[in-house]
Structure 1
Amino acid sequence: METIIQAFVDNPVYLAVAVILALVIIIGFIRKLMKLVLVVAAILVIYIAYMIFWLDKSPYEIKEELEKIPEKLKETSSQILDTGKDKIEKTFEEKLDEKVKDLVAPN
């Protein structure tokens, strides 16, 4: 490793070639990164356009609806629980009445 470093220090041509090669690699990496950013931005713009034109909702309206979901879930689950509780109580009362009738008036 020291010999490679010493060769770069002793011979400026090798150092210049190494620097140019490093710059080419860095520039290539930055270009690919920029392409990725542009593709992601284009996809985001297409997605927003889709949401606005075909769903007739802005991102803010969609965000508001997403924020309402937990509240709607709570309401729906409480309604389901209340309905289930009422049905269980009704069934329990019917079964209890049947058992009481069986005990009071045996066949």
Structure 2
Amino acid sequence: MCVNSTEWSASRIHYFSGKKKNPKKFRVQVHRLAWRKRSEEKAAVGKNMELKNLKLYMENMSIFEENEKLRKKANLLHQENIALFSEFEKKISLLDRVSATLNLIKDRARV
């Protein structure tokens, strides 16, 4: 009975092929295949990570552009708000002067 799967596989090959093979050589070939498979998987994972990174970078740039547009729009609205507030203050001060003048006229009329 075989102890591990490598010995079982090697003995099976001997049985079917009818030739005697070197089990050490077979193990080296299996390890090379396993190493190649792992390196190919790592490369595939690396490519997937690069694609995800690129997508996130593009999304980030889009967000930055939208943020810049909104910042400019907010700045224009702020300037407009300042201008409207200035007009409002002028009208209020004019109303205050008119009100003060009317009060003076009323006071003089009483006397």
- The bucket for the TM-score relative to the shorter chain is 0.3 to 0.5
TM-score (norm 2): 0.42
Q: Which structure would you say has the larger RCO, counting Cα contacts within 8 Å and 6 or more residues apart?
A: 2
